[in-house]
Structure 1
């Protein structure tokens, strides 16, 4: 018994499924390339430019993996680094509330935008629990703060 070939519209539906799944998942640009591969094979199949079913699956695999290897990193750099840098930079100048007393040049915890952060007191005076403090710099996941 011979397998029936996957029709061109089946590839297009598979491609749309992968693209929708990419939009629904957090993450790192993986499924979009499989969606693009399926859309490419669907287009070629619709134009009668593919051969047997195994050839369609081979083309799908090659298109998807090549696109993943060559285009994922540039997409990550374009979409994530710009947004992440802006989000971190926007913390500077904000006012946080100390959750712990923080001595000068010591690390404690502060609350900012509803989340607890590690914070280093870079001011000249200790920061008391509940005191407001200004964020002057962000070093990774640690905020540099000064009491107000």
Structure 2
């Protein structure tokens, strides 16, 4: 009986560990079923192989059908409707930003809408320091161009 319980416990552990490699969130339920059968067998509650197989099938399939969707949410995470990190940088012109890393040789980092961006200033501009406020005046690729001076609002001709 002890060998049988070890079989179920090792099978359960391998099935649970396999979930790290094949992440379909299925094997873990069979692993938990095998672990529970192994514990029940070790405790002397199950003696024959048919009893163990039936309990394994009931526990594994039952938990898979009843709990899989609830458990998948834990691994999927949640998405907020508020996310605006993928901004149109052209529309960002005139937005206020906060400096998050000192500008050295005209390059630093700023925070726009909760996201840090690489930024640059004109070479002859006064360097910006952490905590300073700056204004977006344009962009070059995904690097924002910023200035201490607030830009004039865009006109229809821009």
TM norm structure 2: 0.50
Query: Aligned to 2:26, which of 24, 30, 37?
Result: 30
Aligned partners of 1:53 and 1:5: how far apart in 2? Answer: 13
Gaps of 5+ in 1: 96-129, 135-148
Aligned partners of 2:13 and 2:77: how far apart in 1? Answer: 27
Higher helix share: 1
When residues 13 and 93 of structure 1 are mapped into structure 2, their CA distance, relative to the original with a 3 A threshold, is: same
Alpha carbons 2:9, 2:35 under 8 Å: kept? yes
Look at both structures and tell me which one has the larger radius of gyration over its CA atoms: 2
**RMSD (CA atoms):** 3.1
* Corresponding position of 2:42: 46
Compute the displacement of 1:5 (Å). 9.4
When residues 131 and 64 of structure 1 are mapped into structure 2, their CA distance, relative to the original with a 3 A threshold, is: same
* Corresponding position of 2:9: 12
Q: How many residues align?
A: 93
Compute the displacement of 1:93 (Å). 3.5
